[in-house]
Structure 1
Amino acid sequence: MKVFHLRLKTIICGLLFTLFCNPALSTEDVMKQAGRCAVNYLQVSHASAANRVIVDYEQIDVRERAWHLIRTYQLNPSISGSGNNFAVDLNRFVQGKSNSLQLGVNGNVVLFPEASIKDDLDSQDRSAQLSAIQTLAACDDLYGFTPKITAIDLTSDFDCAVSYWLLGAFNPAQRAMASERTRFAMRRHIQVNPDTNAAQLEQQVLAEGQSRGRRIQQGLDSANVIQETLGRCESQYGLGQ
């Protein structure tokens, strides 16, 4: 019963917002808007980085949000291009294998490809990831879905490089792995900041690592903070310790 009331509330919120907050939208525009959000949600389900960039992603059923919109706005046409199978057409469109998607009972509303939410989330471009998440959050706001999709606060590549350097400095047995991770994080930093001088960055990481290392040895900083940072870095890079 609680689930029913939640879904009913979502339907009402979405319809009221569409009808009263966007009175200028035509029926076709309303369907396109719902269809675009449904496609966006489904693209998230194909993104390998989704759980690393979206807060509590495992608790968000993006596929259910997509199909909720499809059902609510009757986006499933009675005639579909591939053997009358809308799910097949939808999946092909979501994966970028089709140039259009027919929506509506008569299939008279057509979506065309836009920038892929999946590609943006899986990219190493933080601005692209944040833009994708903002797009998803706008869909959540429009249709009343909760919890709202939000971005995980990421640790900077520089801090990750320093933390990996410290791991190698304090754990000789892991030094080779830590050195590789340090270089990886520095490469990521340079990708985001292409004007960075690689040699200068290496010196900055070394200097900061030595400084933090001394503070840890003097009891001014906790080694647990470094361990927590390493955990976040491993998660956002999709690496396994």
Structure 2
Amino acid sequence: MTSNTRRQSIFITGAASGMGRATALLFAQKGWLVGAYDLDNAGLASLKAEIGEGNGLFGRLDVTDRADFSAAMAGFSAATGGTLDLMFSNAGIGGAGLFDEQSWEDAMQVVSVNFLGVMIGIRAALPLLRATTGSLCLVNSSSSAIFGTAGISVYSATKHAVRGLVEALSIEFKRYGVRASDLLPGLIDTPLLSDPMRAMAPEEGMWRLVPVGEVAQVVWSAYHGDKLHWYIPEQLRDFHRQVVTEPEVVREERTALMATMVTTDDI
């Protein structure tokens, strides 16, 4: 999106594995400077070996710690001259469990990482985004932000919150010339995906198992496009339309699906 010869840069949270790692590798191949941050030191070390030290910055980052995030962003800013083309807020954790059975501590950890961590990161990145023409603030939400998902209710709630935040920021940030959008991935082939969901994934359609490389390609498209929501796969857009027009139908379908899964687990 920029016309100068400055090396473009991306800051990625949760970069050591899964979607973040695939995105880091793709953008490094495209010649971008990659800022890769995670709590997984071993994963970061192997990523650094693949990308090469001259093509990235690699650091341990707790996204729920404001001081930690500020320090990471300051180091990144020093390397890029205070610019940032793409902030990819990708770090997140699962948190399966029925609402009344999940421990309060586990639920609050999901909220802290998946929502508060996103807010902290965006605030830390905004000065750099504002200083960069055509910049994008991109947040990894989830298809569970389309309709509340039973069995991961708190996780789903945080992703709804993320989607709402991004929609608001896509308007607010226009005064700075900064874009904001999100990803709404379905069933992505990462360790976060539960075994029952993996086993139920069809070979085709909106609930097929999507490789992480496909997500990375959508991140690339998001930087070069101007959509608000990026559905992965694109068929999830039709599901979102159904949720808006027929929420009760979706509720009953999901209720029947949950009953099937509970029965299967009890066998």
What's the TM-score bracket when you normalise by the shorter of the two chains?
under 0.3
Q: TM-score, normalised by structure 2?
A: 0.25
Higher alpha-carbon Rg:
1
- Structure with bigger helix share is 1
